[in-house]
Amino acid sequence: MRIGIDLGGTKIEAIALSPAGQEIARLRVTTPRDYAASLDAIAGLVRELERAAGAAGTVGVGIPGTVVPRTGLVKNANSTWLNGQPLERDLAGRLGRPVRVMNDANCFALSEATDGAAAGAPVVFGVILGTGVGGGIVVDGRCLAGANLIAGEWGHNPLPWVTPDEQPGPPCYCGKRGCVEAWLSGPGFERDHAQHTGVTLSGQEIVGAAASGDAGAAATLARYHHRLSRAIASLINVLDPDVVVLGGGMSNIVGLPEATSALLPRHVFAVGASSDPVATRVVRAAHGDSSGVRGAAWLWPASA
Ligand SMILES: [Zn+2]
C-alpha cells in the first residue's frame, strides 16, 4: 500500500492507496503551526492509516515548497516553520523507513499523469489555477525537479503577447508587474472584472453572471480565456507537452479547457491550419482536490 500526505498551510490530509490506486482510507487534521508538532501529526496519521488498513505502506509527502537535494533542507515553503528544516530526514527517523518529499504542484501533476486526466501521457504539464498560479512537469511518470527546483513554475513569467491595454500589467507580490499569476489567479480574475466594470464580484459570481447573459461578465470571462490560452501557448512552444491538465479552483469554470484549446492555434508556433492542429490536449484534472494527496502517494512508483 502507498500512503500520501498533503502538508498544507491549514490542514494535513493523508490517504492510503491500494497497489492499484484505490482509496483505502483518508484522514485529515488541522496543521500545527510548529515544526515538531507537524512531524508528530504526520507520524500519527501514518500509524492510524496503517492500523486501519492492517498493512504497512510507503510514505510520500507533498509540501508547499521544495527540498534542496544538496542539503536536504526545505526552502520556499509558505508554511514558514518548515523552511530550513530536514523534513525528509526527520520523518524517516520517526517512521523507520525512507520518506520522499516533493513540491505539491509536482504531486498534482504526478497524480494526473499516473491515473488521472493525463494517464499514460509521456510529457504532462500540470497547472494550478487558484489563489496562486503554479505548475509541475512529469516526464515518463517522474516529476522533473529542475536545476533550481522550479521546473513548471510559470506563474511569475510575464503574460505573453500583451495588448497595449494590458501594459504594464497588474503588480504582483513578487515585486514585478504583469505576471501570469497576477492575471490568471482567482484574485486576478476578480480584479480584472472590477477594473473593467466598476463592479466587485467573486469569481463564481462573475461566471454565473456571464452564464445569465451579463455582457460585462462575459467579456471578463473571454479575456480570461484569451490570456490563459496565450500563457499555455508560450509553454507549449518550449516544453511541447502531450497534455496540459488544469487544476485549482479556477479550473472548475465550465468550458475552460475547451475554450482555451480553441484559441491555442493563434499562438502555438507553426500550427493552426486545419491539416495541422495543435496536438497538445488541454483537460481538467480528474481527481480534483484529491490530486495533491494522491500524487504524494505516487512518489513511490510500482518499480520502487
Ligand atoms: Zn510575480
Q: How confident is the model at residue 275 (pLDDT cuts 50, 70, 90)?
A: low
Centroid of ligand 1 to alpha carbon of 3 (angstroms): 34
Maximum distance among all Cα pairs of the chain, rounded to whole angstroms: 62
- pLDDT at residue 273, rounded to an integer: 61
Mean pLDDT of 113-117: 97
> 156 C-alpha to center of ligand 1: Å?
4
**pTM of the full structure:** 0.94
CA distances from residue 139 to 43, 101, 125, 143, 239 in whole angstroms, order as listed? 30, 18, 9, 6, 11
How much distance in Å is there from the Cα of 281 to the middle of ligand 1?
A: 27
Closest Cα partner for 114 from 277, 289, 285? 285
What are the pLDDT digits (tens) for 54-84? 999 999 999 999 999 899 999 988 889 999 9
* Residue from 137, 20, 10 nearest 64 by CA: 10
Query: How would residue 30 be classed by pLDDT, with cut points 50, 70 and 90?
Result: very high
Q: How confident is the model at residue 189 (pLDDT cuts 50, 70, 90)?
A: very high
Higher-confidence position of 171 and 79 = 171
Percentage of the chain lying above the pLDDT 90 cut: 89
* Cα-to-centroid distance, 189 and ligand 1 (Å): 15
Greater confidence (278 vs 273) lies with 278
DSSP-assigned beta bridge partners for residue 138:
124, 143
37 Cα: distance to centroid of ligand 1 (angstroms): 32
Res. 28: pLDDT tops 80 = yes
State the average pLDDT for the chain: 95
The conformation of residue 82, written as its DSSP 8-state character, comes to G
Instruction: Say yes or no to pLDDT of 244 above 90.
Output: yes
Compute, in angstroms, the gap from residue 276 CA to the centroid of ligand 1.
34
Whole-angstrom Cα distance, residue 260 to residue 182? 18
Q: What was the pLDDT predicted at 9?
A: 87
CA distances from 142 to 107, 108, 276 (A): 10, 12, 30
The answer, yes or no, to whether residue 296 has pLDDT greater than 60, is yes
- Distances in Å between the Cα of 10 and the Cα atoms of 7, 33, 34, 64 are 8, 9, 12, 11
Mean pLDDT of 284-293: 95
pLDDT, position 274:
63
Is the pLDDT at 304 greater than 60? The verdict is no
* 153 Cα–ligand 1 center, Å: 11
pLDDT exceeds 60 at position 303: no
pLDDT band at 276 (very low <50, low <70, confident <90, very high): confident
- What is the identity of the amino acid at 297? A
Nearest-angstrom CA–CA distance, 15 and 109 = 17
- What's the pLDDT score for residue 271? 67
CA 42, chain centre distance (Å): 22
